Chains A and B, each alone.
Chain A
Amino acid sequence: MKVDKHTVRKLAHLSRLELREEDEDNMIKDLNEILTWVEQLNEVDTEGVEPLTNMSHEVNVFREDQVGEHLDHEKALKNAPKKDEDFFRVPKFLNQ
């Protein structure tokens, strides 16, 4: 797989990142290097090996349906860049 300008722009959009045009080439180079390095894994024969989705070998790790402690309301809002007494505030994103 090769990363090109189109892929980088799409990824930037999906990640909500603003990428300056002069940075795009560097990003393409970096991403391609990472991919090439990871592609070494393709050399391993994985015939008949179940995909691993989790590092632990545990299964069925559950908890019972019980309500626990909540985060204090003031604390919950504390780190938000913009808020009022009740809500997180974000730039309006729906125009109707």
Chain B
Amino acid sequence: MSQPRDKYTVVIGLEIHAQLSTKSKIYSRDSTTFGSAPNTNVSVVTLAHPGTLPYLNKKVLDYAIKMGLACNSEITRKNIFCRKNYFYPDLPKGYQLTQDKTPICIGGTVLIRTKKGEKYVKLNRIHVEEDAGKSIHQNEETDTLVDLNRAGVALIEIVTEPDLGSAAEAAQTMMEIRKLVRYLDVCDGNMEEGSIRCDANVSIMPKCSTVFGPKVELKNMNSIKQIKNAIEHEIDRQVGIVEAGGEIISETRTYDPATGDSIGMREKEELNDYRYFPEPDLSPVYVTDEWLDEIRNELPVLPEQWRTKFIEEYGLPEYDTGVLTDSREIAKFFNAVCQETQNYKAASNWVMGPVKSYLNDHKIGIDDFPLTPKKLAELIELIDSGKISYSSASQQLFSAWIKTPKIAALEIAEKLNLIQESDSDSLEEVVREVVDKFPDKVKEYNKGKKGLIGMFMGEVMKATKGKADPKITNQLLRDKLESVG
């Protein structure tokens, strides 16, 4: 059945603000520590006292360029800064010091994967600017409370083209960008603390049309899930209005995750006139070839590069590469394991399974994981050589070794009595005894009741207290049964 929604093309563009993880702010030496007491990470520059001047933090540009290079953007060589003028209590200067005509990165793409396949989402620009302070509106208060700790913290604003066709694509884009800033170590990517924030411009137009509908800007989405829900809700809202013969008003709406609804924020949009002009207090920034090369050399292996390597060199399935490249640290760790073992799929299973759940359970990062990649490879080797079974390795040896990583795995396995009987000579002995014990069953087996192998297997396991290597035992049993038959 055709839904009203199917009649429309959805057009979404994102504006993503990422707080750069510099120690000090963009134009002053104030600390950027999150969670400090209100109005303590401030200076005369942040508070816009008369006569104070901005002093540019070089690292902010390094980080912005890094992000641009990772997205294949063109880097602007001659940068100037601009004042974006508006009055708001959390903006002490009365203008935001930002970039307008010369964003430091132009164009570029971010690769996303959805059910529809791969897509290079086009970026419009990435520019640097300062964050505003925080306004706190409490119901029981008649005043708004202003905390200026955040004012002046360095941001990059990543602006996509109106290139996204669904809430799923928008959410995926946000996820990829968050992954990228974390890989590059330019932002901690924490959405709950507001380190990375997303506004979405959403509009719809009839399927046959090429003229964009009026756009609505959605704010206040603090998780990937909220981005998805808020955009879905907005599409439904717009389709509902148009289907009912109404008109969409271009406005800013804030999403309330508690109700799943959105509320219009400002009505007088036509008065939004920022009167940009060049900042006279900051000298221009020229990006040289040397500077670019320096940053290019610092670029880590990016998720796409890992992915290609994991597929082409290690022969891993698509799903595995997605999980393993989710964070730079995991990807690096997994790759290190693969330097120590040839069994790449087993390495992948270990990292995606027991290792990741250990990290989750203990709320630690892979850097604090007690076992080295080499040790994990040893574990895989112990299984592959038949000394211990996968189940005893993953259920017992793994957690025991984590507690005492300095002791050799084999020693622990012996102590826990996990070593499998795979010595063929002694196993053959057991197999012979078992087969001799049940002459009737042997006859039945050789008459075609092959399922009896399970019974023999069980007997061998009983005799060896479960330590017989199942593969070898199976082979020995078959050989023996057929030879007596």
Q: Is the CB of A70 within 8 A of B41?
A: yes
Instruction: Check: B280 CB closer than 8 A to any chain A CB.
Output: yes
By DSSP majority rule, is chain A's interface helix, strand, loop, or mixed? loop
**CB within 8 Å of A: which of B261-299?**
263, 271, 273, 275, 278-280, 282-286
Residue A14 lies at the interface, judged by CB distance under 8 Å to chain B: yes
Number of B interface residues in the complex (CB < 8 A): 51
Q: Are A70 and B30 in contact (CB under 8 A)?
A: yes
**With A53-B80, A61-B56 in contact, do A91 and B144 touch (Cβ < 8 Å)?**
yes
Question: When A14-B275, A62-B57, A87-B38 are in contact, do A92 and B283 touch as well, CB less than 8 Å?
Answer: no
| Proximity bits, B142-161, A CB within 8 Å = 1, else 0 | 11111110000000000000
Contacts of B145 in A (CB 8 A): 84, 86-89
B136 in the interface (beta carbon within 8 A): yes
B39 lies within 8 A of A59 (CB): no
Q: Enumerate chain A residues within 8 angstroms of B285, measured Cβ to Cβ.
A: 59-60
How far, in Å, is B102 (CB) from chain A's closest CB? Answer: 10
What 0/1 pattern do residues 33 to 77 of A give for CB contact below 8 A with B? 000000000000000000101111011111111111111010011
Task: Give A66 to B146 CA distance when docked, in angstroms.
Answer: 25
**Complex contact B39–A87 (CB within 8 A):** yes
Report chain B residues within 8 Å CB of A77: 39
- Contact call A92/B142, Cβ cutoff below 8 A: yes
Given A13-B271, A73-B40, also A67-B87 (CB < 8 A) = no
| Cα A13 to Cα B59 with chains together (Å) | 38
A32 CB, nearest partner CB in chain B, Å: 18
Per the bound structure, the CA–CA distance linking A65 and B286 in Å amounts to: 19
Q: Is B212 at the interface (CB under 8 A from chain A)? A: no
* A1 CB within 8 Å of chain B: no
Q: In the complex, which residues of chain A have a beta carbon less than 8 angstroms from the beta carbon of B280?
A: 53-55
Q: Is the CB of B47 within 8 A of A76?
A: yes
CA distance A34 to B219 in the complex (A): 40
Quick one: which of B13-45 are within 8 Å of A by CB? 22-24, 28-31, 37-44
| Given A54-B280, A55-B280, A58-B283, also A94-B137 (CB < 8 A) | yes
Give complex CA distance A92, B146 in Å: 10
CB distance B144 to A94 under 8 Å? yes
Q: What CA separation (Å) do A77 and B275 show in the bound complex?
A: 30
**Is the CB–CB distance between B89 and A53 below 8 Å?**
no
B141 is an interface residue with CB less than 8 A from chain A: yes
Contact A89 B283 (CB under 8 A): no
B369 on interface, CB distance cutoff 8 Å: no
B37 touches A73 (CB 8 A): yes
- Complex: A71 Cα to B44 Cα, angstroms: 7
A9 CB to closest chain B CB, in angstroms?
11
Residues of B within 8 A of A65 (CB): 22-24, 57-60
**Distance of A93 Cα from B141 Cα, bound (Å):** 12
Q: Which residue of A lies closest to B277 (CB)?
A: A53
Task: Say whether B85 faces chain A, with CB atoms less than 8 Å apart.
Answer: yes
Contact of A54 among B55, B136, B137, B284 (CB under 8 A): B284
B271 interface neighbour in A10, A55, A62, Cβ under 8 Å: A10
B58–A62 touching, CB < 8 Å: yes
Contact of B42 among A62, A66, A71, A84 (CB under 8 A): A71
Q: A26 on the interface (CB 8 Å rule)?
A: no
Cα distance A17–B216 when bound, in Å?
A: 29
| B135, CB-defined interface residue at 8 Å | yes
**Which residues of chain A come closer than 8 Å to B43, judged between CB atoms?**
68-71
Q: Are B284 and A59 in contact (CB under 8 A)?
A: yes
Provide the bound-state CA to CA distance between A87 and B137, in Å.
12
Taking CB atoms, residues of chain A closer than 8 Å to B29 are 63, 66-69
Q: Is the CB of B144 within 8 A of A76?
A: no
Residue of A with least CB distance to B85: A14
Contact across chains for A90 and B143 when beta carbons are under 8 A apart:
yes
Q: How many Å lie between the Cα of A16 and that of B30 in the bound state? A: 29
Q: Is the CB of B146 within 8 A of A64?
A: no
CA distance A94 to B145 in the complex (A): 12
The distance from the CB of A68 to the nearest CB of chain B, in whole angstroms, is: 3
A14-B271, A60-B285 are known contacts. Are A53 and B42 too (CB-CB below 8 A)?
no
Closest to B284 in A: A59
Residue ranges of A at the interface with B (Cβ–Cβ < 8 Å): 10, 13-16, 51, 53-56, 58-71, 73, 76-77, 82, 84, 86-94, 96
What 3 A-B pairs are tightest by C-beta distance, nearest first?
A: A68-B29, A53-B278, A62-B58
Q: A14-B273, A67-B23, A68-B24 are in contact. List 7 more A-B contacts (CB 8 A).
A: A60-B283, A64-B59, A87-B147, A90-B144, A92-B142, A93-B135, A96-B263
10 example contacts (A-B, Cβ-Cβ < 8 A) are as follows: A53-B279, A53-B280, A61-B55, A65-B59, A67-B31, A84-B145, A87-B38, A89-B145, A93-B135, A93-B144
